[in-house]
């Protein structure tokens, strides 16, 4: 049980620290205006046009850091502050999401794997939520069976976080190179500030992977320890 508590608070602290870092980097560099004067939406539109992507639409949405690319509907969704914003942070985030649209067009393999795994990952996240709760009621699921199900589900979640890493790092690399190449973000301080925001955002995905790996190993350990006892 103590190991479980260490795991719980350790992963909570890790993801908390990572999201704190991205928020502070974003808050700081959303005050730094890019000298190009372009908005996030304009930059995203330019990148899509440069890559001959005509079937992706760009939309503003409410909320803070709610930006994402939706491959199912081919929508590039930017939070209002990044859609209208002209800061280096806004341009970085917009270019990163456009990077996902380029991956989609080029059928970038890790993105395809990630899209294919969305369904089963949804089921796995339901399992890891419900099995411990049902298990607490006692006797409803045989203990060793519950541990085995948890190990498999945690393994699926861990693999999903693992394939997310190349997808996110690649989108950020594309964003940096296109922003520098088109002059949307000036070299020097502007580029460094934009990089800090995107690098902090990438670290949150590393934190999510490390957490899922820790949980997977924990259940794997319990599974093998349990089967040795029998």
Residues that bind Zn ion (CB under 5 A): 168, 171
Q: Which H or E run includes 202? A: helix 189-229
- Look up 97 and say whether it is catalytic: yes
Report the DSSP beta bridge partners of residue 68: 77
Length of the chain: 230
Q: How far is the CB of 141 from Zn ion (least distance, A)?
A: 36
10 Å Cβ neighbour count for 185?
Answer: 28
Beta bridge partners, 61, equal 79
How far, in Å, CA of 116 to CA of 109, rounded?
11
At 61, is the secondary structure helix, strand, or coil? strand
Q: How far is the CB of 197 from Zn ion (least distance, A)?
A: 12
Q: In sequence order, which ranges of 85-142 are alpha helices (DSSP H)?
A: 88-105, 109-136
Strand 75-79 versus strand 57-61 pairing type: parallel
CB of residue 69 vs Zn ion: minimum separation in angstroms? 7
Question: One of 42, 81, 97, 190 is an active-site residue; which one?
Answer: 97
C-alpha neighbours within 13 Å on the C-beta side of residue 39: 14
* Closest to 58 measured CA to CA, from 26, 90, 29: 90
Four-residue CA torsion sign, 187, 193, 199, 202: negative
Token reading at 12: 């909570």
Strand partners, 69: 76
Nearer CB in complex with Zn ion: 80/170? 170
Q: Which residues are catalytic?
A: 97
């Amino acid at each position: 049980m103590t190991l479980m508590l260490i795991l719980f608070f350790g992963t909570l602290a890790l993801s908390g620290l990572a999201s704190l870092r991205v928020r502070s980097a974003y808050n700081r560099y959303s005050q730094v205006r890019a000298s190009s004067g372009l908005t996030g939406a304009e930059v995203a539109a330019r990148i899509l046009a440069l890559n001959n992507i005509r079937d992706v639409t760009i939309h503003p949405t409410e909320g803070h850091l709610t930006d994402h690319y939706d491959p199912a509907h081919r929508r590039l969704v930017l939070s209002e502050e990044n859609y209208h914003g002209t800061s280096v942070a806004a341009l970085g985030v917009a270019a990163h999401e456009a990077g996902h649209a380029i991956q989609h067009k080029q059928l970038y393999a890790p993105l395809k794997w990630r899209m294919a795994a969305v369904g089963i990952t949804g089921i796995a996240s339901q399992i890891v939520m419900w099995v411990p709760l049902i298990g607490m009621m006692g006797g409803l699921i045989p203990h060793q069976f519950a541990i085995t199900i948890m190990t498999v589900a945690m393994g699926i979640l861990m693999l999903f976080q693992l394939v997310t890493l190349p997808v996110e790092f690649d989108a950020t690399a594309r964003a940096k190179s296109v922003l520098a190449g088109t002059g949307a973000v000036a070299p020097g301080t502007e580029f460094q500030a934009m990089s800090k925001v995107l690098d902090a955002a990438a670290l949150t995905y590393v934190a999510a992977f490390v957490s899922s790996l820790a949980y997977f190993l924990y259940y794997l350990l319990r599974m093998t320890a349990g089967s040795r006892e029998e």
